[in-house]
Amino acid sequence: MAERIDCDIAVIGAGSGGLSVAAGAALMGARTVLIERGRMGGDCLNYGCIPSKALIAAARHAVSWRHASGMGIRYNEPEIDFAAVMRHVKNTIAAVAPHDSAERFAALGATVLRAEARFVGPDLLQAGATTIRARRIVIATGSRPAIPPIPGLEAVRYLTNETIFDLDQPPIHLMILGGGAIGIELAQAFRRLGVKVTLIERLTCLAREDAELSGLLVNALREEGVLLHEQTEVTLVENTVSGIVLTLRYADGRIERIAGSHLLVVTGRQPNLDSLDLPRADIASDARGVIVDRRLRSSNKRVFAVGDATGLSPFTHTAGYHAGVVLKNVLFRLPATADHSLMPRVIHGDPELAAVGLNETEARARHGRITILRRSFAENDRARTEGRGDGLLKAIISPRGRILGAAIAGPEAGGLIQPWILAMQKGLGVGAIQALAVPYPNRGEASKQAAGDFYRPRLLSPITRGIVQFLARFD
């Protein structure tokens, strides 16, 4: 039977952003409706962050023996049970799933509808047989793989991040299209699990990141046996008796054909907006997503959008951040705004790569005169004890000590970058990092020491020496 629900806030999509909005709204007493047509937890739980990091963790164990020999510990090369690895991935998803379940959100006080939603008016939604009138609506529908228009690709049974974790047998030769974060992470993980991997990138791998630091990760993949083709275009995809065949065209015009057993396409994302019928609610959008203002409001001021549905910043933590901005606007009527300039990012390779703010090229273009602070982990005592001196910290500082950006390549870089994130988000200068009391021995010392390098030329200058010598005359 048809049903009508009136509510304070309706959330379309039960991924990271939508769940955060719905949980906050329900807990604070707002009448909340959460609508999801697919799996609860969205891309992050089912196809993204959780399964990929579970796979990466298993792959890291598969090569940890390589680092032990320098400490006098020797292992035999491990036997990899690929099916068991994939069970670990699925078990990890299952362990997290209750936190994102419909039952949990119903217990929080939200009405959960398992149906596809579409707009039928500026404040009116249809979800299955239910009509929802909401004072405010949040679009949190996420994104899906963007498939490039390569001739022949549509006739091939290719993989995406939504299907690759369903494998229970290892590919003989995995070919990956796309050298962004997902492509790099999965290329390294599958290679470590014994799979032959070829990665093809039309431009440059990890082009958004600092070239020196991203080069450490890209070179690590090469050393581990990943076959990398940058500045390479795929002009044709074919099904043949020898497998899937790609025709490659290199930057110098050379043509080559390569064959593999499996093809993974990770060339970008596109927003999930097709079924929403946005024009019925006067909501403007483009190829990137819903067009929003700084408060994350759409052209229909009753409707907000968060996460990948906006196309602003394709990270799970961005969606969570967006949720906080929306809740302040919707529940407390505060004109909170989103600032994406300091949104951190992490690539979970080995070495891990983490960054916040501007990279060196961007900073020079915008600010001209800058100071680059550098610390190699080869100089870090904790890294020495663990036999892992690979990695580098770089911080970009203005002449007055303002932090413009920071990036780290090395083990646990995603954790080590956090003091820089906090300092930048709170408007603190490099002196705040230098003043930290850091436990010894710890990789975090690299941040403190790099920050100290900013002041060292002044502290060791003739003027400072003169001041110290003058003050020494007095008791």
Burial of 325 (0-12, 13-18, 19+ CB in 10 A): buried
**Per-residue pLDDT reduced to its tens digit, 108-120:** 999 999 999 999 9
pLDDT reading at 1 higher than 70: no
pLDDT higher than 80, residue 398: yes
The set of residues, in sequence order, having a beta carbon less than 8 Å from that of 38 and lying 6+ positions away, is none
- With bands split at pLDDT 50, 70 and 90, how would you rate the model's confidence at 70? confident
Residue type, 30: A
Give the pLDDT of residue 273.
98
The amino acid at 305: A
Q: Which three-class secondary structure string do you get for 16-73?
A: HHHHHHHHHHHHCCCCEEEECCCCCCHHHHHCCHHHHHHHHHHHHHHHHHHHCHHHCC
pLDDT tens digits, one per residue of 308-317? 999 999 999 9
Lowest mean pLDDT segment, chosen from 61-75, 128-142, 159-173: 61-75
Task: Identify whether the C-beta of residue 401 lies closer than 8 Å to the C-beta of residue 381.
Answer: no
pLDDT at position 475 is: 74
| Residue located via tokens 């020496």 | 465
Sorted by where each starts, the structural domains of the chain and their CATH numbers stand as 3-145+270-332 (3.50.50.60), 153-263 (3.50.50.60), 351-458 (3.30.390.30)
State the Cα–Cα distance between residues 233 and 244, nearest whole angstrom: 16
Q: What is the pLDDT of residues 244-270, one digit of tens each?
A: 999 999 999 999 999 999 999 999 999
pLDDT at position 459, please?
A: 73
In this predicted structure, the answer to whether residue 464 has a pLDDT above a threshold of 90 is no
For 183-242, how does the pLDDT look when each residue is reduced to its tens digit (9 = 90+)?
Answer: 999 999 999 999 999 999 999 999 999 999 999 999 999 999 999 999 999 999 999 988
Over the range 150-173, which residues count as b (16 or more CB within 10 Å of their CB) and which as e? Answer: bebbeeeebbbbeebbebeebbeb
pLDDT for 54: 98
SS3 at position 260: strand
The pLDDT value recorded for residue 278 is 98
Q: Which of 121, 143, 142, 146 is nearest to 132 (CA)?
A: 121
The pLDDT-based confidence of 473 (bands split at 50, 70, 90) is confident
Mean pLDDT, all residues of the chain: 95
Distance of CA 111 to the CA centre of its chain: 30
What is the structure's pLDDT at 165? 97
pLDDT in tens, 346-365: 999 999 999 999 999 999 99
pLDDT reported for residue 7:
98
Q: Tell me, what amino acid is at 334?
A: L
Average pLDDT over residues 81-86: 98
